[in-house]
Chain A
Amino acid sequence: MSHSAPTPRVDDREVPSLVDPVFELADLTVYYDDYAAVRDVTMDVGRTQITAMIGPSGCGKSTVLRCFNRMNDLIAGARVTGKVSYHGEDLYAEEVDPIEVRRRVGMVFQKPNPFPKSIYENVAYGPRVNRMRPANMDDLVEEALSAAALWDEVKDVLKKNALTLSGGQQQRLCIARAISVKPEAILMDEPCSALDPIATAKIEDLMHDLAREYTIIIVTHNMQQAARVSDRTAFFTAEVDEEGLRHGRLVEYDVTSKIFTKPGDSRTEDYITGRFG
């Protein structure tokens, strides 16, 4: 496979300027015990934009992503310094409840992880645990499944175990599940890496639709995917320190078309043209 620079996403939608960012990272450093996995990340994330994070594996993309909904809290030994703001509020402030953060900032994982329950129960779970008590749960489930472009495929089998679905369907179910609690942002950690090209294309289309309403941050190792779907792209890499430890670092962050056509850093250029490692 040749690595010519992928064509940037062609979109009639004007890329909005970041006057009102949803997230702002300032000098974010994340440690696992004493090891700084990623250092000094400063970037902001625009509302209803798709922001892609790319870079070689191990450079800390997932680590940074987990800061946006405080999933890092669940990892023993993980801690952050610097600032993560959500609409100007410090996400890691004392009084912030990580549970509430995760309700507003959903997450889709690399490997589809539906609950081993019915399709319906998978979607209804989020509203239930958040005590949303919708007037009609059936409607809410339908709405979420429709938004995830899955409704037509599953509307007659809602009682079936979610694990009987195909991988691509499972991943869209996970997206529906994330949507069910009406978050503002959705984090996706390599959501297509376990899927075939057709299922991948479906998810990419879906992200396009979702971006009308949701702020999406996607980690991907697939540069073509970043180019196709995202408005902005952050390129991370790992730097080796004197002791031989690898620390992730944000190299360049810009409008996607710019990253892929006129990268400002030679490392970015090497990576996207496939000259990297």
Chain B
Amino acid sequence: MSASAVTKSPRRRRPLREGVFRVSLYACLGVGVVFLAVLLAYIVVTGWDRLDSRLWQNFPSIQIPETAGAQSAIMGTIWVLGFTALYCVPTGVMAAIYLEEYADRNRWYNRLIELNIQNLAAVPSIVYGILGLGILARGLGFGFTVLTAALTLSLLVLPVVIISGREAIRAVPDSIRQGSYALGATKWQTIWRQVLPQAIPGMATGSILALSRAIGEAAPLLLLGGLAFVTFNPAGVFSPFTVLPIQIFNWISRPQEEFRILASAAIVVLLVLLLAMNSVAIWLRNRYQKRW
């Protein structure tokens, strides 16, 4: 090929093609960003009048939208999410450790477990709601409580926690394990002192992202008696509860305009919680970037 063929011929075509490609990339990106921005702006504008302390100081009310608040839903969300984290993070991390460090991949049951976890991550959340209703609420008699909700949501996000935990463990290079073993460390010591400390940021990031999926779930909780009208905060794991998504759902289905405004305000609160969690996840990821 002559030099002119290299330098000239593509130069004639490139600007147009590349330009078109670029523009379409921006367009695709734009659809997502603009849509999100419009949605956020719409919600903030709509809910602006009710974005004040009434929202978290007052309890819901049927008759008087002016004084109605979402305190019980906010507290319910915090309770349910807290216990979800308490159940699913240790379980998920342990399962991830087993699968990565102990499981013999040649055994059929380990392969089956792996396959199942992949599939469970794709099961619609309402199915978990039915499971929670049938087994936890009715079968085990936990009733429509924070406990049932938290356990159900734990099952829902557990596959994601396990999968991200495994990725975090796998990201720890084998040379680190070998270095540890070569010094006479046991498997236990190697996992606890070398592998886990380095996998924790990744696991935390994955867990937070999994929990931020749980925070927005309404479908399974609707089945679990996330009663819309709860005028008290949860007092324990056996308390009835409501959560923000359900409260929002309920308000939106009311005819009065005031309740719609209230719903928008509650959505803003939910989004702020979500963004806060995701920022922590991003911060963790950047803070502990892989260093090897």
Contacts and interface: CB of A to CB of B under 8 A. Distances in A.
B176 A71 contact: no
A109 interface: yes
A109 B181 contact: no
A99 interface: yes
A181 B189 CA distance: 15
A181 B173 CA distance: 23
A178 interface: yes
Contacts, number: 69
Interface in B178-220: 178-186, 189, 193-194, 198
Interface stretch (A122-130, A241-249, A268-276): A122-130
Given A115-B176, A116-B198, A125-B193, A102 B292 contact: no
Interface residues of B, number: 19
A109 B173 CA distance: 14
Interface string B158-176: 0000000000000001011
A103 to B, nearest CB: 3
Contact of B182 (A69, A114, A116, A161): A69
Nearest to A104: B184
B189 A102 contact: no
Given A76-B104, A116-B292, A161-B291, A129 B178 contact: no
Given A76-B104, A163-B291, A129 B176 contact: no
A100 B184 CA distance: 6
Interface size class of A (residues with CB under 8 A): 20 to 34
23 contacts: A71-B178, A71-B181, A71-B182, A74-B178, A74-B181, A102-B181, A102-B184, A104-B184, A109-B182, A113-B173, A113-B175, A113-B179, A114-B179, A115-B180, A116-B198, A116-B291, A125-B183, A125-B185, A129-B186, A130-B183, A163-B291, A177-B183, A180-B183
Given A115-B194, A125-B185, A129-B183, 10 more contacts: A71-B182, A109-B175, A109-B179, A111-B175, A115-B176, A116-B198, A116-B291, A126-B185, A130-B183, A174-B179
Interface of A: 69, 71, 74, 76, 99-100, 102-104, 106-107, 109, 111, 113-116, 125-126, 129-130, 161, 163, 174, 177-178, 180-181
Interface of B: 104, 173, 175-176, 178-186, 189, 193-194, 198, 291-292
